C-alpha cells in the first residue's frame, strides 16, 4: 500500500516527461525558424533540452525507486550514514563541468545575435518607433548610404544610420505595423520608443529586444525564407505590369510600349498588392513582449519578407509615390 506512493509519483512524473514527445505532434512546438542565426538558438535549445531531460530522468528515477525500495520496513533500522565525501565531489564536479560547457558553448550565438560589433554591413536599414500600441516603421529611400564594404567604415556608418533613425528624412517611407525586408538581406533595425517599454519580438526569427525610452538600440537579422511578393497591376484593367529593376541604382521602372517610367511617378494609374500564400504558418507576426499597458496584447505587427530585392524596392517606391500623391484616389490605393 505504502509503495503506491512511489507509483503515484512515478505516473505523474512520467506524464510530464511524455508530454514533450507528444507536443510536436499537435503542433505545440517552436514555430518555424526563418533567420540565419535562429538555427543556433534552436540547437542550443535542443542541447539544453537533452541535458536537462537526462538529469530529470536520472534524479526522478532515483527518487521514485528510493520511494519504492526504502519504504518503512517496520522494526528494521535505516542505513546510518551522514554522507559521503567522494559522492559529494562527484556530483559537484560533473554538473559543474557540464554547466561550464553550456555556458561557454552559447557565447558565440549570443555575440552573433546581439553584439553591435558583430553585426554585418546592412543591405537594408529600418527605423522602428514603438508607442502605445503600434510599431511605426520608417524606411530610407536610399539604403546605399549606410552600406559599407570596409570594416573601418563601420563606426562611421553606424553613427550615420543611427542619426537617421533619430531624425527622419523628408522622403522616408512610413508604414504602421508592417516590417518589409527581402530574402537573404542583412537587415539592420534601430528600435526606439516614444512612451513606455515595449519589446520587439519576432518568434519566427528567434529575435527579441526591448525598447527603452531615451535609447536607440540596434538589432539585425537575415531572413532565409520569403512569404510575399509585391505585384503591380493596371488600375483600369487589372493586368499585371512589367517592372524593370536596376540593381545598381535600385530604381524600379514600369515598362510600357512607349518606354520606361519610374514606378513612383505612375502610382495614380497602378494598383500594387502584396501577394502572400494565405497560409497561416507563413504569417510571421511581431508581438510586443514587454508589458506596455492594457492593449499590450494587441500590439501586433507583421513581417513581410519579399522574394527578392526587386519586389521590395517596388513596394518601397510604390509606397513612396502613394505617400506623396496629391490625389485622394492614389492615397487611398496605398491600402
Partner 1 sequence: MSVSHSHTTETHAHPEMSILRKYVFSEDHKIIGIQFLFTGLIMLFVGGALALLVRLQVGWPNGTIPIIGRWFPASWGEKMSPEFYTMVFSMHASVMIFFVIIPWLTGAFGNFLIPLQIGAPDMAFPKLNMMSYWFMWPALITIIWSFFVEGGAAGSGWTSYPTLASAGMPAGSGFQSPAGPPSGYGQILWLVSLLFVGISSMMGSVNYITTIVNMRAPGMTFFRMPMSIWAMFITAILQAMALPVLTVALILQLLDKTLGTTFFLPPAGMAFGNWHTGPGGGQPLLWQHLFWFYSHPAVYIMILPAMGMVSDIISVFARKPLFGYKPMVYAIAGIAGLGFIVWGHHMFQSGMDPRLGTGFMLATIMIALPSAVKTFNWLGTIWGGNIKYTTAMLNALAFVAMFVIGGLSGIFMAATPVDVYIHDTYFIVAHIHYVLFMSSIFGIFAGIYFWFPKMFGRMMNETWGKVHFVLTFILANCTFYPMHIIGVGGHPRRYYDITIYDVFQHLQPLNVFMSVSAILLGLAQFIFVANFFYSLIWGPRAERNPWHSNTLEWSAPSPPPHGNFEETPVVYRGPYEYGHPDTEQDYAPQTDAKGPAVVAAH
- Phi/psi of residue 53, each to 5°? -60, -40
Least distance (Å) from partner 1 to the CB of residue 9?
6
Nearer to partner 1, 40 or 122 (CB): 40
Nearer to partner 1, 137 or 205 (CB): 205
Nearer to partner 1, 87 or 176 (CB): 87
Nearer to partner 1, 23 or 244 (CB): 23
Least distance (Å) from partner 1 to the CB of residue 187?
16
Q: Are 271 and 319 in contact (CB under 8 A)?
A: no
Least distance (Å) from partner 1 to the CB of residue 263?
30
Q: Could you tell me how far CA 159 lies from the centroid of its own chain?
A: 24
Nearer to partner 1, 206 or 271 (CB): 206
Can you read off the three cell numbers belonging to residue 283? Answer: 504569417
Nearer to partner 1, 93 or 332 (CB): 93
- Strand-pairing partners, residue 193, are 130
Check residue 253 and report its DSSP letter. E
d(CA 196, CA 81) in angstroms, rounded, equals 57
Can you read off the three cell numbers belonging to residue 48? Answer: 539544453
Residue 321 CB partners (closer than 8 Å, separation 6+) = 263, 264, 265, 266, 267, 330
Least distance (Å) from partner 1 to the CB of residue 151?
19
Least distance (Å) from partner 1 to the CB of residue 164?
17
- Phi/psi of residue 237, each to 5°? -100, -25
| Residues 171-189 as b or e (16 or more Cβ within 10 Å = b) | eebebeebbbbbbebbbbb
d(CA 129, CA 140) in angstroms, rounded, equals 14
Least distance (Å) from partner 1 to the CB of residue 189?
13
Amino acid at each position: 500500500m505504502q509503495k503506491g506512493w512511489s507509483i503515484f509519483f512515478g505516473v505523474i512524473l512520467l506524464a510530464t516527461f511524455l508530454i514533450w514527445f507528444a507536443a510536436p505532434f499537435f503542433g505545440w512546438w517552436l514555430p518555424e525558424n526563418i533567420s540565419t542565426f535562429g538555427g543556433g538558438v534552436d540547437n542550443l535549445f535542443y542541447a539544453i533540452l537533452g541535458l536537462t531531460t537526462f538529469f530529470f530522468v536520472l534524479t526522478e528515477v532515483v527518487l521514485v525507486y528510493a520511494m519504492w525500495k526504502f519504504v518503512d520496513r517496520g522494526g528494521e533500522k535505516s542505513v546510518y550514514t551522514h554522507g559521503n565525501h567522494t559522492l559529494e565531489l562527484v556530483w559537484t564536479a560533473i554538473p559543474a563541468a557540464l554547466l561550464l560547457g553550456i555556458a561557454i558553448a552559447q557565447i558565440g550565438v549570443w555575440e552573433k545575435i546581439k553584439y553591435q560589433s558583430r553585426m554585418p554591413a546592412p543591405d537594408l536599414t529600418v527605423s522602428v518607433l514603438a508607442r502605445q500600441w503600434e510599431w511605426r516603421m520608417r524606411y530610407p529611400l536610399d539604403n546605399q548610404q549606410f552600406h559599407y564594404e570596409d570594416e573601418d567604415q563601420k563606426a562611421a556608418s553606424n553613427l550615420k544610420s543611427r542619426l537617421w533613425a533619430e531624425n527622419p528624412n523628408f522622403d522616408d517611407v512610413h508604414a504602421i505595423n508592417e516590417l518589409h525586408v527581402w530574402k537573404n538581406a542583412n537587415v539592420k533595425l534601430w528600435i526606439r520608443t516614444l512612451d513606455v517599454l515595449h519589446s520587439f519580438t519576432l518568434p519566427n526569427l528567434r529575435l527579441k529586444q526591448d525598447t527603452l525610452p531615451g535609447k536607440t538600440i540596434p538589432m539585425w537579422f537575415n531572413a532565409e525564407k520569403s512569404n510575399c511578393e509585391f505585384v503591380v497591376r493596371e488600375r483600369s484593367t487589372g493586368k499585371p505590369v512589367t517592372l524593370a529593376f536596376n540593381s545598381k541604382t535600385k530604381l524600379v521602372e514600369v515598362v510600357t510600349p512607349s518606354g520606361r517610367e519610374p514606378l513612383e511617378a505612375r502610382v495614380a494609374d497602378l494598383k500594387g498588392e502584396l501577394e502572400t500564400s494565405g497560409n497561416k504558418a507563413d504569417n510571421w507576426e511581431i508581438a510586443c513582449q514587454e508589458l506596455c499597458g492594457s492593449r499590450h496584447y494587441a500590439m501586433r505587427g507583421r513581417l513581410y519578407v519579399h522574394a527578392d530585392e526587386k519586389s521590395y524596392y517596388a513596394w518601397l517606391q510604390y509606397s513612396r509615390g502613394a505617400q506623396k500623391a496629391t490625389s485622394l484616389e492614389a492615397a487611398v490605393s496605398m491600402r
